[in-house]
């Protein structure tokens, strides 16, 4: 049966010539045996993708004196895209140290398979094959180093295809006030390939999805808006016309957003004790916590900074007193 019959002519055109070539004639397929080991260390790593049933076995022949991968081969038990991705992955590992090989991502594999730098090498739904190639590198490195492969992940990845972390997504969504999956994809590429990270029901189950992050940021922004409205609640935002509860909430919201992050970064904090009116001015009573209690600047620079910020944000004559 012709390949066009198996895949479909239109879809086949979405595969680069390099991918097609490596599907038919991979350069690095094979195995490395103990007889070839010599004074080098042989690492054999297996990794399977539960989402599609594909699996890959990676062979590394490593010089233990330099940690350099002298030979890299693979065997793939899966589709043609898995073969092409694994072939390129094995090639990219060659002559690199194990640490440098760990820096190879699925994006590097996919881009290396492109004919044109601006045109993806495979359709989005097949991007997960290059993710498997990335994962087997981690597995091989973990065997060589004697550690758990999860230790190589420093951040929580939401979109495996584009290697986009949860922290990055939260920052981008909030900063740009994104409100749709389409906007997230435009800004970060997350969700633009296999789409498993968008919502439950894709080919790969996730702990956190893009829809969850959208909901989380929406709730956070709504809370901030509510806090802002408290400040503007009475007298068109006039602090003097607010009731005591509103004054306390207004001061608290400014401390939380503008003051505490800096203090907490140095191991300190500040507690709002009370707000009192004194003729045309207001006394804000605070109490330092943590490292701020013993800081030499808690009655000078830090105190002035808190007072200036409250006066600026509340547009009122504020005097901060440490209790």
Q: Return d(Cα 69, Cα 81) in angstroms, integer.
A: 24
> Strand, helix or coil at 31?
coil
The dihedral region occupied by 290, where left means phi > 0, alpha psi between -120 and 50, and beta the remainder, is left
Q: Return d(Cα 20, Cα 113) in angstroms, integer.
A: 10
98 Cβ contact list (under 8 Å, min separation 6): 60, 62, 67, 69, 141, 144, 145
Annotation marks residue 129 as catalytic: yes
Active-site residue (options: 79, 93, 129, 197): 129
Active-site residue (options: 52, 159, 161, 194): 52
N- to C-terminal Cα distance for the chain?
A: 84
Closest CA to 18 of 87, 101, 98, 94: 87
Q: Return d(Cα 166, Cα 173) in angstroms, integer.
A: 11
The CB density around residue 240, as the number of other CB atoms within 10 Å, is 15
Report H helices in 16-165: 17-24, 80-93, 98-101, 106-112, 128-145
Q: What is the DSSP letter of 128?
A: H
In the block, residue with structure tokens 């996730």:
206
Q: Catalytic residues, which ones?
A: 52, 129
């Amino acid at each position: 049966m012709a390949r066009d019959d198996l895949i479909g002519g239109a879809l086949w055109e979405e595969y680069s010539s390099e991918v097609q070539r490596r599907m038919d004639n991979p350069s690095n397929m094979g195995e490395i045996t103990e007889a070839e080991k010599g004074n080098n260390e042989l690492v054999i790593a297996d990794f399977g993708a539960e989402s599609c049933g594909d699996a890959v076995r990676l062979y590394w022949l490593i010089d233990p004196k330099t940690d350099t991968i002298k030979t890299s081969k693979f065997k793939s038990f899966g589709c043609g895209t898995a073969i092409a991705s694994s072939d390129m992955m094995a090639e990219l590992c060659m002559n690199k140290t194990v640490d440098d090989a760990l820096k190879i991502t699925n994006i590097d594999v996919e881009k290396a398979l492109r004919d044109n730098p601006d045109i993806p090498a495979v359709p989005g739904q097949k991007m997960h094959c290059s993710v498997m190639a990335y994962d087997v590198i981690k597995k091989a490195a973990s065997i060589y180093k004697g550690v758990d492969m999860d230790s190589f992940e420093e951040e929580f990845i939401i979109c495996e295809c584009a290697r986009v972390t949860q922290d990055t997504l939260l920052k981008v969504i909030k900063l740009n006030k994104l409100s749709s999956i389409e906007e997230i994809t435009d800004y970060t590429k997350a969700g633009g390939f296999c789409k498993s990270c968008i919502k439950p029901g894709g080919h790969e189950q996730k702990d956190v999805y893009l829809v969850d992050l959208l909901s989380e940021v929406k709730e956070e922004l709504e809370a901030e808006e509510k806090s802002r409205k408290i400040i503007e609640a009475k007298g068109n935002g006039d602090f003097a016309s607010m009731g005591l509860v509103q004054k306390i909430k207004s001061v608290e919201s400014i401390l939380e957003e503008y003051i505490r992050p800096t203090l907490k970064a140095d191991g300190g904090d500040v507690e709002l004790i009370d707000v009192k009116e004194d003729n045309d001015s207001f006394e804000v009573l605070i109490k330092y916590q943590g490292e701020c209690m013993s800081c030499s600047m808690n009655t000078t620079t830090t105190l002035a900074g808190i007072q200036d910020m409250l006066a600026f944000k509340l547009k009122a004559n504020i005097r901060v007193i440490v209790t």
